[in-house]
């Protein structure tokens, strides 16, 4: 089999690149913010309703699935996105994309069946309760459905139609919340939540497939001779996905085994807040990835300026989250979950510092992947995850939730240091005064102020902190005319 090669017949201008990314970011941000606002409220309701013990077991069920989901994809999704983005402009691009689509679809279905067996077997071999094993088994049904949804979503992303996939995700989350609320009202436990999620996955799959059909793309008959070369090409992406999933969820599994359901519930109620804010980074980077993949072939001279600006914007957003979250951790937990979740304050005050690292590492990882060096990303994540798993296995049985939280931050710092080394030549030209140090000064000052005012009503604290931080960014020159022109330009495009 000859895997598709990258080529292009157009050279999109930087303005067109910005327009595409803005469209995907706008739709993606609106969709994901809708998802997050709705799901965040619902998650708070779930945590309050289930209690720390039952929620801890539910989080452990989800963690088992997250660790082994790698086997259902093996990196085929991000590889497909990159290849579709590169193939689109070839004369025979549509035909090649349809062949790729059909082969990836069949291969993912087979892999998902194998992953389902591995997940259920692991839950049984680790001595999980029967109730939890049944929950894990029910969750694997969604894994099989995701094989079809994921293949279709990769085709949409490769065509830079993330807006369609984002709309499907909104539909999924709204379905999950609506049916999950009924499940909570009728006291069905977390089984009801699992069935609600399955219904949302089915709807999301249907919507993604309709979007692909509107693009005029149909999966060709699978070509089994392509499967092994596809796996060889995608395995670096798969290693990235597996090791990330392992580093994010292995601590939850160990906590559940050594510390019990209640501590697992405290830890994951805090961890859930971290992943809620990471949607900002994820939406922007997801929108950038297919566009950067295409731009790296057709217009590579624009990439350094894009890299520097993105680093500055991501750090501008992440740093106040870290400083403010640390200063107000007790107030945040009490406001959202109530006094019975006081055990989540310590994990949150530690975990919140991982946000700036995650914002930056996700972006730098995409920069390396776009350059075609995904094996270096895979190696870096493997190193950091190996450290994470080894130290978690050693320290969680002794120090419990504190070790889990500290090691999460350490793991991301190790990953960032490796990415920075790989990209050292490019990062040397970044103006770090504006990209990092001035935002740090503004965020730290804001953090001190809100800490001193923490006795106020939490929403008022957040509002005061936001005003102070924005004012300091303006005073320090981090935000200026280019940012205002960008916002005005986006508003004009939306008006047109």
Half-sphere exposure of 485 (CA within 13 A, CB side): 3
How large is the average pLDDT for residues 428-453? Answer: 90
Q: Is the pLDDT of residue 274 over 60?
A: yes
pLDDT computed for residue 490 by the predictor? 42
Residue bearing the bigger pLDDT, 187 or 31: 187
- Could you tell me the pLDDT band of residue 331, with boundaries at 50, 70 and 90? very high
pLDDT computed for residue 75 by the predictor? 81
Contacts of 105 (CB under 8 A, 6+ apart): 147, 148, 151, 219, 222
Distances (CA, A) of 450 to 8, 59, 453: 51, 32, 5
pLDDT computed for residue 290 by the predictor? 63
Do residues 361 and 416 touch, judged by C-beta distance below 8 A?
Answer: yes
pLDDT computed for residue 292 by the predictor? 63
| Distance separating alpha carbons of residues 89 and 456, to the nearest angstrom | 57
Share of the chain above pLDDT 90, in %: 29
Q: Which helix (H) or strand (E) holds 52?
A: helix 14-68
- Could you tell me the pLDDT band of residue 471, with boundaries at 50, 70 and 90? very high
- Could you tell me the pLDDT band of residue 76, with boundaries at 50, 70 and 90? confident
Phi then psi dihedrals of residue 373, to 5 deg: -105, 40
pLDDT computed for residue 289 by the predictor? 62
- Could you tell me the pLDDT band of residue 346, with boundaries at 50, 70 and 90? very high
Structural domain range at position 342: 14-430
Number of structural domains the chain divides into: 1
Residue bearing the bigger pLDDT, 296 or 326: 326
Do residues 196 and 179 touch, judged by C-beta distance below 8 A?
Answer: yes
- Could you tell me the pLDDT band of residue 369, with boundaries at 50, 70 and 90? confident
pLDDT computed for residue 484 by the predictor? 54
> Do the domain assignments include residue 493?
no
Task: Name the range with the highest mean pLDDT among 86-100, 162-176, 213-227, 344-358.
Answer: 344-358
Alpha helices in 159-260 (DSSP H): 162-185, 189-214, 224-258
> pLDDT by residue (tens digit) across 276-307?
888 777 777 766 666 666 655 566 666 666 77
Do residues 158 and 211 touch, judged by C-beta distance below 8 A?
Answer: no
Q: Is the pLDDT of residue 1 over 70?
A: no
| Distance separating alpha carbons of residues 256 and 64, to the nearest angstrom | 11
Q: Is the pLDDT of residue 205 over 70?
A: yes
| Distance separating alpha carbons of residues 428 and 440, to the nearest angstrom | 19
| Distance separating alpha carbons of residues 14 and 11, to the nearest angstrom | 9
Residue bearing the bigger pLDDT, 32 or 315: 315
How large is the average pLDDT for residues 151-157? Answer: 89
pLDDT computed for residue 261 by the predictor? 86
| Distance separating alpha carbons of residues 372 and 379, to the nearest angstrom | 14
Share of the chain above pLDDT 70, in %: 84
pLDDT computed for residue 291 by the predictor? 61
CA 67 to chain centre: 14
Contacts of 233 (CB under 8 A, 6+ apart): 3, 79
> Do the domain assignments include residue 480?
no
| Distance separating alpha carbons of residues 444 and 465, to the nearest angstrom | 11
pLDDT computed for residue 29 by the predictor? 54
Residue 221, classed as helix, strand or coil, is coil
Task: Name the range with the highest mean pLDDT among 82-86, 148-152, 425-429, 441-445.
Answer: 441-445
Residue 480, classed as helix, strand or coil, is coil
> Do the domain assignments include residue 446?
no
Tokens (6 digits) for 293: 């993949």
> Do the domain assignments include residue 467?
no
> Do the domain assignments include residue 475?
no
pLDDT computed for residue 163 by the predictor? 75
pTM (predicted TM-score): 0.68
Least confident of 21-25, 234-238, 382-386: 21-25
pLDDT computed for residue 412 by the predictor? 92
Q: Is the pLDDT of residue 17 over 70?
A: no
Residue bearing the bigger pLDDT, 396 or 245: 396
Least confident of 107-111, 185-189, 246-250: 246-250
Q: Is the pLDDT of residue 401 over 60?
A: yes
Number of neighbours of residue 67 by Cβ within 10 angstroms: 21
Tokens (6 digits) for 484: 């205002």
Q: What average pLDDT is seen over the chain?
A: 82
How large is the average pLDDT for residues 265-273? Answer: 89
Q: Is the pLDDT of residue 62 over 90?
A: no
> Do the domain assignments include residue 460?
no
> Do the domain assignments include residue 287?
yes
pLDDT computed for residue 303 by the predictor? 66
> Do the domain assignments include residue 134?
yes
pLDDT computed for residue 167 by the predictor? 84
């Amino acid at each position: 089999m000859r895997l598709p090669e990258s080529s292009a017949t157009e050279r999109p201008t930087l303005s067109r690149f910005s327009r595409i990314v803005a469209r995907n970011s706008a739709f993606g941000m609106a969709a994901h913010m809708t998802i997050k606002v709705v799901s965040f409220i619902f998650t708070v309701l779930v945590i309050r309703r289930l209690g720390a013990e039952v929620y801890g077991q539910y989080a452990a069920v989800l963690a088992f699935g997250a660790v082994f989901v790698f086997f259902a994809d093996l990196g085929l999704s991000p590889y497909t996105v990159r290849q579709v983005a590169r193939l689109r402009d070839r004369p025979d691009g549509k035909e090649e994309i349809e062949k790729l689509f059909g082969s990836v679809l069949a291969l993912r279905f087979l892999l998902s069946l194998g992953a389902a067996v591995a997940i259920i077997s692991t839950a049984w071999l680790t001595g999980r309760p029967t109730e939890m094993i049944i929950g894990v088994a029910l969750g694997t049904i969604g894994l099989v459905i995701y094989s079809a949804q994921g293949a279709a979503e990769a085709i949409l992303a490769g065509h830079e139609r993330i807006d369609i996939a984002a709309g499907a995700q909104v539909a999924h989350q709204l379905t999950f919340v609506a049916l999950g609320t009924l499940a909570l009202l009728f006291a069905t436990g977390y089984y009801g939540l699992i069935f609600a999620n399955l219904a949302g996955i089915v709807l999301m799959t249907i919507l993604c497939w309709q979007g692909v059909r509107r693009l005029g793309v149909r999966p060709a008959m699978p070509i089994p001779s392509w499967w092994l070369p596809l796996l060889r090409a995608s395995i670096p992406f798969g290693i990235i996905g597996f090791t990330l999933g392992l580093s994010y969820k292995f601590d939850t599994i160990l906590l559940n085994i050594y510390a019990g359901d209640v501590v697992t519930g405290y830890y994951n109620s805090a961890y859930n807040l971290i992943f809620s804010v990471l949607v900002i980074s994820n939406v922007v980077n997801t929108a950038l990835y297919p566009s950067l993949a295409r731009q790296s072939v057709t217009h590579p001279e624009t990439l350094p300026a894009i890299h520097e600006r993105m680093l500055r914007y991501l750090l501008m957003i992440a740093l106040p989250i870290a400083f403010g979250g640390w200063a107000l951790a007790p107030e945040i937990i009490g406001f959202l979950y109530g006094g019975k979740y006081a055990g989540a304050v310590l994990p949150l005050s530690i975990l919140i510092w991982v946000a700036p690292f995650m914002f930056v590492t996700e972006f730098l990882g995409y920069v390396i992947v776009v350059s075609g060096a995904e094996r270096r990303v895979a190696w870096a994540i493997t190193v950091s995850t190996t450290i994470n798993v080894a130290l978690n296995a050693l320290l969680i049985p002794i120090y419990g939730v504190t070790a889990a939280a500290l090691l999460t931050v350490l793991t991301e710092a190790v990953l960032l240091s490796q990415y920075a080394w790989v990209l050292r030549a490019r990062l040397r030209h970044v103006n770090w005064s504006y990209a990092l140090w001035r935002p740090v000064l503004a965020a730290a000052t804001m953090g001190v102020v809100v800490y001193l005012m923490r006795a106020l009503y939490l929403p008022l604290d957040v509002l005061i902190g936001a005003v102070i931080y924005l004012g300091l960014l303006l005073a320090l020159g981090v935000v200026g005319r280019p940012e205002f022109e960008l916002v005005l330009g986006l508003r004009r495009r939306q008006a047109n």
